[in-house]
Amino acid sequence: VLFKLIKKLLKLIKKLKAEAKAQSSSKAAMSSHREEQVARLKHELEDLSRQCYFQRLKTSTTISEIIQYINSHVQEDPLLNPVKDNPFNPKKSCELL
């Protein structure tokens, strides 16, 4: 589905570029509008092509993996088990009786 959309976007970009070249220099405002359209479509094409390569996983699988990870790292979590001694607290150099 994404590949079909990418092909359509590429055709549209080529068409817009051809129209922009065909316009005369007296129509600079329309030409700049076309250039903006081409830039926007190129950006959209880049986003879609990046999305094609994402590995999609089922939510049920990822949720169970996240729960496993959390349970295996509970002891290291500073929010659940706060540090008892603050390492950034200045050390006292001298104590009196």
Per-residue model confidence as pLDDT tens digits over 18-67: 776 666 554 555 667 777 888 888 888 888 888 878 888 899 999 999 99
Does the pLDDT of residue 13 top 80, yes or no? no
E strand spans, 1-97: none
Cα gap 12→4, rounded to integer Å = 12
pLDDT at position 29 is: 58
Query: Could you tell me the pTM of the whole model?
Result: 0.39
Is the Cα torsion angle 4, 9, 15, 21 positive or negative in sign? Answer: negative
Question: Which two three-digit tokens encode residue 31?
Answer: 């030409």
Residue 27, phi then psi, degrees to nearest 5: -100, 50
